[in-house]
Amino acid sequence: MDLRQLRYFCAVVREGHFGRAAASLGIAQPPLTRQIQTLERQLGVSLLHRTQKKFEVTQAGLLLYERARRLLDGADQAEDDVRRLGSGETGRLTVGFAPSNAFTILPPIVARFRATYPDVELELRQFTTSILVTSLESGSLDVALLRPPLSSRSLQIVTLIREPFLALVPAMHRLAARPATQLRQFAGEPFVMYSRAGSPLLHARVMDMCQRAQFSPRIVQYADQIHTVAGFVAAGIGVALAPSTVTRFNMPGLRLLEIAEKPAPLAMAMAWRTGAATGLVRNFTRIAREATGPWQSGQLAEAT
């Protein structure tokens, strides 16, 4: 038995007429007649009682009609559901993110994704970068937002935004009025630094930048995250360096200066397991690119 035969039989019963049924199916009448005959022969049951010229549906035919309709509906539904799941319109997507994303690119991405794919269950989990990587590899995460570089070769990675570093000074600082500064101006200044444990990547990058500017920062305070660092600077404790995310904090007492040396920007990327680019993942990455497009164009203050 075959879904095509059932479709044909249902059409015949529904229309009560071979010609019209064939037309509604988009085929000619003779093949339809033959398919019904074949179906009857295979079942060993007469479904239509041909009473010269006309026909009437037998008890068995009526039963088959009911069952066939349910089967066909079920098949269509299944096909649709599978298609939607495959195309990423439904399903469950588990997204991991590093803490530094929680206030920056994550909200607009999630907002846009929710709006575009309301039927997808979006599960968000915050982890450190190293756990994000192992979770991606083990399959417990579908996508992750994290900072490159990544050592794993089994992961696909795409950079979403590149944030230039800015110099942070208190409002009453001697450089506060300037639009830009050279990094070496910070030599000997009291420095607010990212802790190695809380933000190893930022710690490393800032130390590296200072080293390239040929000074060693006089660290007076450690802080874990960017907005903590910015808060300490705004409080006048010292100067600091931070990615341009800080422009979104809007803290009184904080001044942001461009860095004349133009150090390499800090990238934010998303990663997923190579080959695990399901529809959901493809859709999420597309949405992420769309939602973070404005950053690339410099509209840093817009949150979508």
Chain contacts with its own copies (rule: CB under 8 A) = 1-4, 43-47, 49, 51, 58-60, 63-64, 67-68, 70-71, 74-75, 77-79, 81-83, 85-87, 91, 275-276, 278-280
Give the long-range contacts of residues 70-76, CB within 8 A, separation 24 or more: 71/3, 71/6, 72/3, 72/6, 72/7, 72/10, 75/3
Residue listed under structure tokens 């817009």 = 302
- Shortest distance (Å) from residue 78 CB to its own copies: 4
Give the three-state DSSP class for 242.
strand
Q: Which is nearer to its own copies, 141 or 239 (CB)?
A: 141
- Shortest distance (Å) from residue 10 CB to its own copies: 12
Measured CA to CA, the distance from residue 299 to residue 295 in angstroms comes to 5
Under the binding rule (CB under 7 A), the answer on residue 153 touching DNA is no
- Shortest distance (Å) from residue 8 CB to DNA: 7
Under the binding rule (CB under 7 A), the answer on residue 191 touching DNA is no
Q: Cβ distance 265 to 161 under 8 Å?
A: no
Backbone angles phi, psi at 203, to 5 degrees: -55, -50
Between CA 230 and CA 105, with CA 95 as vertex, the angle to 5 degrees is: 35
Residues 43-82 that bind DNA (CB under 7 A): 48, 50, 52-55
Under the binding rule (CB under 7 A), the answer on residue 30 touching DNA is yes
Residue listed under structure tokens 């988009």 = 26
H/E segment holding residue 81 = helix 59-87
Measured CA to CA, the distance from residue 273 to residue 138 in angstroms comes to 9
Stretch that binds DNA, among 33-41, 84-92, 187-195, 282-290 (CB under 7 A): 33-41
Q: Which is nearer to DNA, 30 or 293 (CB)?
A: 30
- Shortest distance (Å) from residue 15 CB to DNA: 8
CA 21 to chain centroid, in Å, comes to: 46
- Shortest distance (Å) from residue 26 CB to its own copies: 17
Measured CA to CA, the distance from residue 266 to residue 52 in angstroms comes to 83
Which of its own copies, DNA, none interacts with 298 (beta carbon under 5 to 8 A by kind)?
Answer: none
Taken as a whole, the chain contains a residue count of 304
Q: Which is nearer to its own copies, 51 or 138 (CB)?
A: 51
Q: Which is nearer to its own copies, 83 or 174 (CB)?
A: 83
Q: Which is nearer to its own copies, 2 or 119 (CB)?
A: 2
- The residues facing 49 across adjacent strands are 56
Residues 198-227 that bind DNA (CB under 7 A): none
Residue ranges that bind DNA, judged by CB under 7 A: 2, 4, 17-19, 26-31, 33-38, 48, 50, 52-55
